[in-house]
Structure 1
Amino acid sequence: MKPTITLRELNISILTSRINCPISFDLKYLKMEGIISPDWTLSQIPVKTEDFTQFIFTNGIRVILRPNIVTFAEPLKSFLIEKVKVISLVFNYIKNPSVFPSYKILFNIRSYVAFNSSNKSLPSQYISSLLKPGKWLEYGEEEVRATLNFVYHLEPVQLTINIKEAELQLPNAIIIPSVLFSGKYLFNLKESSVKKHFHNLKTATSYWERSIENYRLIVEEVFIRVP
Structure 2
Amino acid sequence: MSNSLQLTEIAISLVAKNLNPAVLNPDFVKYTGIIPSDWELANQPVYNNNLVQLVYKNGVGIIVQPNRLNVLEMIGGKTPAEIQLATVALQLVEKLSQVEYQAVGINPKAVVGFTSEADAYQYICSNLLSPGSWQEFGGSKVNAGLELSYPLKRGVLNLAINQVNVQSGEQVTPAILFSGNLNYPLTGNTVAERIQDLQQIIANWQNDVNIFQQLLVEKFLSSSPSPSPAQQISASVFSK
Aligned to 1:46: 45
Aligned to 1:14: 14
| CA distance in structure 2 between the aligned counterparts of 1:220 and 1:57, rounded to whole angstroms | 31
| CA distance in structure 2 between the aligned counterparts of 1:197 and 1:55, rounded to whole angstroms | 27
Aligned to 2:154: 156
- For residue 34 of structure 1, report the CA deviation from its aligned partner: 1.9
Residues 5/186 of structure 1: CA separation in 2 closer, same or farther (3 Å cut) = same
Paired AA for residue 156 in structure 1: R
Paired AA for residue 147 in structure 2: N
Q: How does 1:13-162 map to 2 (within 5 A)?
A: 13-20=13-20, 22-23=21-22, 25-77=24-76, 81-117=80-116, 120-129=117-126, 130-137=128-135, 140-162=138-160
Residues 145/158 of structure 1: CA separation in 2 closer, same or farther (3 Å cut) = same
CA contact (8 A) 1:15 1:104 kept: yes
Indicate yes or no: 2:216 matched with 1:202.
no
For structure 1, the residue ranges without an aligned partner over 5 or more in a row are none
Residues 147/17 of structure 1: CA separation in 2 closer, same or farther (3 Å cut) = same
| CA distance in structure 1 between the aligned counterparts of 2:44 and 2:105, rounded to whole angstroms | 27
Partner of 2:58, secondary structure, is: coil
RMSD: 2.8
TM-score when normalising by structure 1: 0.82
CA contact (8 A) 1:16 1:100 kept: yes
| CA distance in structure 2 between the aligned counterparts of 1:108 and 1:69, rounded to whole angstroms | 14
Aligned to 1:165: 163
Aligned to 2:213: 216
For structure 2, the residue ranges without an aligned partner over 5 or more in a row are 230-240
For 1:16-50, what per-residue CA distance to the aligned partner results, in whole angstroms no more than 9, with x for missing partners?
13532x35532110012221112211122213344
Could you tell me which of 167, 170, 178 is aligned with 1:181?
178
| CA distance in structure 2 between the aligned counterparts of 1:5 and 1:179, rounded to whole angstroms | 10
Paired residues in the alignment total 221
CA contact (8 A) 2:165 2:174 kept: yes
| CA distance in structure 2 between the aligned counterparts of 1:37 and 1:196, rounded to whole angstroms | 28
Residues 99/125 of structure 1: CA separation in 2 closer, same or farther (3 Å cut) = farther
TM-score when normalising by structure 2: 0.78
